Structure 1
Amino acid sequence: MRENIHPDYNEVQVTCGCGNKFVTGSVKKELRVDVCSKCHPFYTGQQRAISVGGRIEKFNKRYSK
């Protein structure tokens, strides 16, 4: 492998739009994200199950014969 071609990998602070902050590794100096695990609907349990239920019912209705 060639030496001195890889970027510096540092610990950086990630800032979410909701205000949550955590530390991770990256080649960038600072990261800003819109959604994190504290505010994402999948992780908070506030996801819309209505649309999913409609798709499952539609699938079962179509292929239940």
Structure 2
Amino acid sequence: MSKPDIHPTWYPEAKVICNGEVVMTVGSTCPKINVEVWSGNHPFYTGTQKIIDTEGRVDRFQKRYAMIGKKVNKEASESDSAEK
């Protein structure tokens, strides 16, 4: 049992508002919650995320990773041909 008059008011249908429109309802101690980003407009969840590469780090990583994969495949194919 909760003690009377010490808990904040609970709003079971609190509205989450993003860019002026209601995006969902949740339970909260605030009747309205204003947010700038939510999963419906965040680039990670919508699939529009872009990797910003200013120093070529992503390219270097991808080249290095591709070379490692080729070495492993090359060694495996050499060992297969040596066994035959």
What interval of TM-score do these two structures reach, taking the shorter chain for normalisation?
0.5 to 0.7
TM-score when normalising by structure 2: 0.53
CA distance in 1, matches of 2:21, 2:59: 34
Structure 1 length as normaliser, TM-score? 0.65
Q: Which runs of 5+ in 2 are unaligned?
A: 69-84
Aligned residues: 60
The root-mean-square deviation of aligned C-alpha atoms, in Å, is 3.2
Runs of at least 5 residues in structure 1 that lack an aligned partner in the other structure: none
**Greater helix fraction, Structure 1 or Structure 2:** 2
Alignment of 1:3 with 2:19, yes or no, is no
Structure 1 residue runs of 4 or more that deviate by more than 4 Å after TM superposition: none
Q: Which has the larger radius of gyration?
A: 2
Q: Which has the higher contact order (CA 8 A, sep 6+)?
A: 1
Q: In percent, how many aligned pairs have the same letter?
A: 33
